[in-house]
Structure 1
Amino acid sequence: MSSVKPKKHLGQHFLKDENIAFKIVEALKNDAVLPLLEIGPGTGVLTKYLIQHEVDFYALDVDKESIEYLKNTYPTFGYRFILQDYLKYDVPFDRFNVIGNFPYNISSQLFFKIWDDRSKVDEVVCMIQKEVADRICAKHGNKTYGILSVLLQAFFDIEYLFKVSPGVFNPPPKVQSAVIRLKRNEVTQLPCDEKRFKQVVKTGFGKRRKTLRNALKDLNLSESAKALAEMDLRAEQLSVQDFISLTEKIS
């Protein structure tokens, strides 16, 4: 096997620009400290630099062809290439980092899984659709501000690193891409129930054009909760801290 064919149903767009691949790996600040999960290694454009940097990496992919290709290309590291879906993977490390050119069709799902793994994830460097990157980095009051913005910013410091044009992929996607870095902040636990926090955020943005009083009405709030001043606002008007505070008040 000499190559891996990109598969549309897996959302695969293989990066072919070595300079960008190098920049993505270099953006990982703690590459030599913790185990690293590479999500969706594809043809190994990032993997080769992880090997050069002697990083303790493990690459997960649902594409059997990709895993077989990487095992054949790097037989010494064969045990590090795992046919597995990160969305269903119980990571066997207490702490780890994440890197990858995330499949475009499941990038949001991957970030929800990263949020679920927030007690273990120290750092994430990834390439995703520019639209998703804009959403994750957005601040309150912005139309692109949403569920992922709030959930991820509650636990991570997020940096927008650089944009990537479609022409450096095979096949070229129909969207612009961007590379971002998430670094775990010092928050170990929110001062509110975190499951309730997630529920409030998702429900609030589920009807983002409505005030929170109407958007959250299915949560069976008390009359005192309904009377809170925040209930006159829409979800996009609340900062991350506002959502934390609101969850405390209505729980």
Structure 2
Amino acid sequence: MQSVRPKKHLGQHFLADPNIARNIVAALQLPNEVKEVLEIGPGMGVLTQYLLQNPAYQTSVVEIDTESVAYLKAHYPALGNRIYATDFLRQNLDAMFPGQPLAIIGNFPYNISSQIFFQVLANRQQVREVVGMIQKEVAQRLAEPPGSKTYGILSVLLQAYYKIEYLFTVPPHVFVPPPKVESAVVRLTRNETERLDCDEKLFFRVVKQAFQTRRKTLRNALKPFGLPAEATTDPIFEKRAEQLGVADFVALTQRIAQHNSGLSAQLPDLSPDDIAE
């Protein structure tokens, strides 16, 4: 097998520029405790080949496309049994890498990039670093500080646990087939926050609710949480969601919890659809 046919339904756009591939792999910083590197959607292995050149990495790949899996087995025998022919979004990372801190890398399909980051959030105690190529617009949103129109749910949730860096932009012509938009590479590095100083499940829901009607002030946007009027006199309730940083949302969550004891237990867990913007 000489090549793999890109499949539109899988959102495949194969990177064809080796220099950019090297730069993406070089962006991995890997904290000292991290040896396991998981590549998502390697396709024909343009990143994989450079990952395998570094003996410090224990490289594994997860690929849903059976044609790509066959190609990887034929061209990268060094991977051995570390090719997972499955859907990353359905995997239990702790079962794949029991007790092991992990770095994730990949040219992420545009159509599932938010779901991938949701998986990262769900496994934030294990995933210590992420280097991903995604749609430029999404990359900007992740790294954006408060106050921007593109700052949103995923920005807050990821920034609560990760330092996020926008590294560089990638033009369409270096892909096969070329996408209709620009791409960008971001790096997420786990920060020192093991747990937020609030009910984390409720925090996720407060952030979601605040941005669901982002044009409203928080006094109106957060009405579903049933705060009494006297609890919303603070000037923060005159602001809109996009004006608040992580610490502000933590404080809001604490206040809501004070007035709604046991609320968190009544809320459903956040899903990937809840963070779609």
TM-score by length of 2: 0.87
Structure 2 unaligned regions, length at least 5: 258-277
| 1:70–1:78 Cα contact (<8 Å) kept | no
d(CA) in 2 for partners of 1:31, 1:170: 33
d(CA) in 2 for partners of 1:46, 1:183: 20
**What is the deviation of 1:85?**
1.5
Question: Is residue 67 of structure 1 aligned with residue 41 of structure 2?
Answer: no
Question: Is residue 98 of structure 1 aligned with residue 104 of structure 2?
Answer: yes
- 230-239 vs 163-172, greater mean Cα deviation: 230-239
**What is the deviation of 1:241?**
1.0
d(CA) in 2 for partners of 1:163, 1:89: 30
Report runs of 4+ in structure 1 exceeding 4 Å deviation: none
| 2:64–2:86 Cα contact (<8 Å) kept | yes
What is the aligned residue count?
A: 251
| 2:148–2:242 Cα contact (<8 Å) kept | yes
**What is the deviation of 1:211?**
1.1
| 2:60–2:79 Cα contact (<8 Å) kept | no
3-state DSSP class of the match of 1:79?
A: coil
Identity in percent: 57
d(CA) in 1 for partners of 2:222, 2:51: 45
Deviations 1:166-205 (A, max 9, x none): 0000010011111111100011110001111110111111
1:119 to 116, 125, 131: 125
| 2:35–2:102 Cα contact (<8 Å) kept | yes
d(CA) in 2 for partners of 1:174, 1:204: 32
Residue of structure 2 equivalent to 1:57? 59
d(CA) in 2 for partners of 1:16, 1:90: 31
d(CA) in 1 for partners of 2:58, 2:165: 24
Provide closer, same or farther for how the CA distance between residues 22 and 238 of structure 1 changes in structure 2, counting only shifts above 3 A. same
Structure 1 unaligned regions, length at least 5: none
Deviations 1:55-96 (A, max 9, x none): 201101111111111011122423111112221110133310
| 2:36–2:59 Cα contact (<8 Å) kept | yes
3-state DSSP class of the match of 1:187?
A: coil
**What is the deviation of 1:39?**
0.7
3-state DSSP class of the match of 1:52?
A: coil
| 1:72–1:78 Cα contact (<8 Å) kept | no
| 1:102–1:128 Cα contact (<8 Å) kept | yes
- 184-193 vs 28-37, greater mean Cα deviation: 28-37
